């Protein structure tokens, strides 16, 4: 297969495909760190060259949930996030039969589409726990190859003699002076397997995210949203003093605005 590994300068994924007999090339704005077929430049320049498979690792700086607080606090130009999303869209829409896009937990899920799979390094022989999302086109889900004990988890801490009995999962919502409810997760360190705890933890995170989104949608409407509600006959267009987001708003596109 002709494999394009986009946004890769290390050559690691490229060399894995090459070692399996594929015609693989990496591409990055940076030069490659290890000798091998590499295009140094914009991947968009070469995306139409008839690849059978593309694996892409686009930059997450302006997309990852952990970095978005800079943007929503107004400390970073929101256009950077829009540009990063448009780059991901160009990768997803590339005329390539099989595509895998990799990114941490990011707003790609809420702004473009939910990922198809979330994996962790500890499912593949590395002792790290990091939610890594995959957006797949015509590709099967990755199958874990080797489970190892992730470092820094409750089990690891337990071995160091630190007893953790519960975790609180919750979130603030920017611009309003209240946040989601806290969900308390009791931890049964002696009997529960890490995978089972992870499942409960991410179910709680999903619940918090859904609640945070609902609060955002109730409170972060823009001026055009407000004018719409006034036109619809809802008084001054506010609800409990806040403007709800109009999902068809031509101005904020139904995403609301930072307040
Ligand atoms: C998160 S890093 C991925 C690194 C990769 N995992 C590796 O092992 O090399 C994202 C990379 O995307 C590259 N990049 C950003 N925009 C690009 C573009 N338009 N075309 C090609 N590469 C791009 C950056 O230079 C950066 O090295």
The ranges assigned to domains in the chain are 2-137, 154-219
Q: Which two tokens stand for residue 47?
A: 């995306």
Quick one: which atom of ligand 1 is closest to the CA of 12? 8
pLDDT digits (tens, 9 = 90+) for 35-48: 999 999 999 999 99
Residue nearest to atom 14 of ligand 1 (CA): 7
pLDDT of 67 above 70: no
Q: CB 209: neighbour CB atoms within 10 A?
A: 16
Residue 230 has pLDDT above 80, yes or no: yes
Give the dihedral of Cα atoms 175, 178, 246, 62; nearest 10 deg: 50
Scored b (16 or more CB within 10 A) or e, 55-67 reads bbbbebebbbbeb
- Domain over 2-137 is classified CATH 3.40.220.10: no
The structure's pTM equals 0.65
CA 8 / ligand 1 centre spacing (Å): 5
Q: For residues 11 and 192, what is the distance between their CA atoms, to the nearest angstrom?
A: 39
Percent of residues, the chain, with pLDDT higher than 70: 90
How many angstroms separate the alpha carbon of residue 7 from the centre of ligand 1? 3
Is residue 189 within 8 A of residue 154, CB to CB? The reply is yes
Q: How far apart, in Å, are the Cα atoms of 117 and each of 43, 86, 108, 142, 167? A: 24, 21, 13, 8, 25
Beta bridge partners of 101: 56, 135
Could you tell which of 4, 5, 6, 9 is best to mutate to test the pocket of ligand 1, judged by most ligand atoms within 8 Å of the CB? Answer: 9
**If we measure between CA atoms, which residue out of 225, 149, 163 comes closest to residue 193?**
149
Angle made by CA atoms 94, 97, 98, in degrees to the nearest 5:
95
Judge if the beta carbon of residue 30 lies within 6 A of ligand 1.
yes
Atom 19 (ligand 1): residue with closest C-alpha? 42
pLDDT at 103: 93
The Å distance, Cα 81 to ligand 1 centre, comes to: 16
Model confidence at 8: pLDDT above 80:
yes
Q: Residue 104 above 80 pLDDT?
A: yes
Whether 15 is in the pocket of ligand 1, judged by its Cβ within 6 Å, is no
């Amino acid at each position: 297969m002709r494999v394009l590994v986009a946004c890769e300068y290390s050559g690691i994924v490229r060399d894995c495909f090459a070692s399996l007999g594929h015609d693989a090339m990496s591409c990055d704005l940076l030069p490659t760190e290890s000798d091998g077929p590499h295009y140094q430049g914009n991947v968009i320049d070469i995306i139409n060259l008839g690849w059978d498979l593309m694996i892409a690792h686009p930059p997450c700086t302006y997309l990852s949930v952990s970095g978005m607080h800079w943007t929503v606090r107004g400390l970073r130009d929101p256009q950077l996030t829009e540009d990063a999303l448009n780059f991901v869209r160009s990768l997803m829409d590339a005329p390539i039969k099989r595509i895998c896009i990799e990114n941490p937990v990011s707003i790609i899920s809420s702004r473009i589409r939910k990922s198809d799979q979330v994996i962790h390094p500890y499912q593949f022989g590395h002792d790290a726990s990091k939610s890594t999302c995959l957006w797949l086109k015509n590709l099967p889900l990755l199958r874990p190859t080797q489970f190892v004990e992730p470092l820094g988890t409750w089990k690891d801490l337990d071995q160091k003699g630190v007893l953790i009995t519960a975790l609180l999962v919750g979130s603030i919502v920017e611009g309003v002076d209240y946040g989601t409810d806290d969900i308390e997760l009791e931890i049964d360190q002696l009997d529960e397997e890490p995978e089972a705890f992870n499942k409960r933890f991410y179910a709680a995170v999903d619940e918090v995210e859904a609640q945070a989104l609902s609060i955002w949608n109730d409170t972060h409407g823009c001026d055009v949203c407000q004018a719409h509600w006034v036109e619809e006959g809802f008084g001054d267009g506010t609800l409990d003093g806040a403007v709800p987001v109009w999902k068809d708003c031509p101005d904020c596109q139904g995403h609301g605005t930072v307040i």
